[in-house]
Amino acid sequence: MEDRTELGGDQSIGATAFTGHGRPSRTFARGRVCAEPGCDTKLSIYNDDEFCCLHVSPSTPRLRGKKIA
């Protein structure tokens, strides 16, 4: 077995732990289904739209997933 002092084992690195601080993601009701007739795709709790990604209006301008305008 190697001596850990030769590998720098007697030294530590200072850091701060990731705590997840910050604003939590906005969520919406569970069990929602796409509003497109005949589509039974369950919507994510993070999807604020009433349609799934296949049926959302392409004319809705988006920036990083958020509607703009």
What whole-number distance in Å separates Cα of residue 65 and Cα of residue 42?
Answer: 18
pLDDT score for 38:
97
29 membership: H or E segment, kind and range: none
Please check the confidence at residue 4 and state whether its pLDDT lies above 60. no
Asked if residue 52 lies in contact with residue 43, where contact means CB atoms within 8 angstroms, the answer is yes
The reported pTM is 0.53
State in Å, rounded, how far the first CA of the chain is from the last one: 64
CA atoms within 13 A on the CB side of 22: 5
Neighbour-count burial of 55, counting CB atoms closer than 10 A to its CB (0-12 exposed, 13-18 middle, 19+ buried): middle
- pLDDT tens-place string over residues 31-69: 999 999 999 999 999 999 999 989 987 766 677 777 776
What pLDDT does residue 7 have? 54
**Which tokens go with 54?**
């296949």
